[in-house]
Structure 1
Amino acid sequence: MAKARTVGVAVDFSPTSKLALRWAVDNLINKGDQIILITVQPPQAHHTRKELFEDTGSPLVPLEELRELNFTKQYGIARDPEVIGILDTASKTKGAKAVAKVYWGDPREKLCNAVEDLHLDSLVVGSRGLGPIKRVLLGSVSKHVMTNASCPVTVVKGKQSSNSRH
Structure 2
Amino acid sequence: MGSEEIGGEKHKARKIVVAVDESEESMYALSWCLNNIIVRHPEDSFVILHAKRPTVVYSGFDNSAYLSSHDALSSLDRRDSDMACWVLQKAEKLCAEHDVKVEGRVEEGDPGDVICEMVKVLKADLLVTGSHGYGQLTRAILKSVSHHCVQNAGCPVLVVKMPK
Is TM-score (shorter-chain normalized) higher than 0.5?
yes
2-structure distance, mates of 1:138, 1:122: 25
| Residues 79 and 106 of structure 1, relative CA distance in 2, 3 Å threshold | closer
Task: Name segments (4+ residues, structure 1) moved above 6 Å.
Answer: none
1:24-79, Cα deviation, whole Å (9 max, x unpaired): 111221222211110011111625xx9xxxxxxxxxxxxxxxxxxxxx74x84216
Shift of 1:145: 0.4
Aligned mates of 2:104, 2:93 — CA distance in 1: 14
Q: Offset of 1:82 from its aligned partner?
A: 4.8
Runs of 5+ unmatched residues, structure 1? 51-71, 161-166
Computing the radius of gyration from Cα coordinates, the structure with the larger value is: 2
Q: Equivalent of 2:104, from 96, 100, 104?
A: 100
1:84 alignment partner in structure 2: 92
Confirm or deny that 1:135 pairs with 2:139: yes
User: Which of the residues 42, 52, 69 maps onto 2:53?
Assistant: 42
Cα distance 1:102–1:79, how it changes in 2: closer, same or farther (>3 A)? closer
Please state whether the residue corresponding to 2:159 is helix, strand or coil.
strand
User: What SS does the corresponding residue of 1:97 show, helix, strand or coil?
Assistant: coil
TM-score by length of 1: 0.71
Aligned-partner SS, 1:155:
strand
- Residue of 93, 112, 123 corresponding to 2:127: 123
**Secondary structure at the residue paired with 1:123?**
strand
Rounded to whole Å, the distance in 1 between the matches of 2:97 and 2:109 is 30
Alignment correspondent of 1:21:
30
The size of the alignment, in residue pairs, is 133
The CA RMSD measured in Å over matched residues stands at 2.4
How does the TM-score come out when normalised to structure 2?
A: 0.72
Residue identity in the other structure for 1:78: W
Report which of the two has the higher share of helix.
2
Cα distance in 1 between the residues matched to 2:117 and 2:89:
28
Question: Contact 1:32 / 1:97 at 8 angstroms: preserved in 2?
Answer: no
- Mapped contact 2:16–2:46 kept (Cα < 8 A): yes
Percent sequence identity is: 34
| 1:135 aligned partner, one-letter code | R
- Partner residue of 2:116 out of 97, 101, 112: 112
The alpha carbon displacement at 1:102 in A equals 0.6
Alpha-carbon distance in structure 1 between the residues aligned to 2:42 and 2:135: 38
Q: CA 1:121–1:84 in structure 2 vs 1: closer, same or farther (change >3 Å)?
A: same
Q: Tell me the equivalent position of 2:155.
A: 151
3-state DSSP of counterpart to 2:102:
strand
Specify the alignment match of 1:4 in structure 2. 13
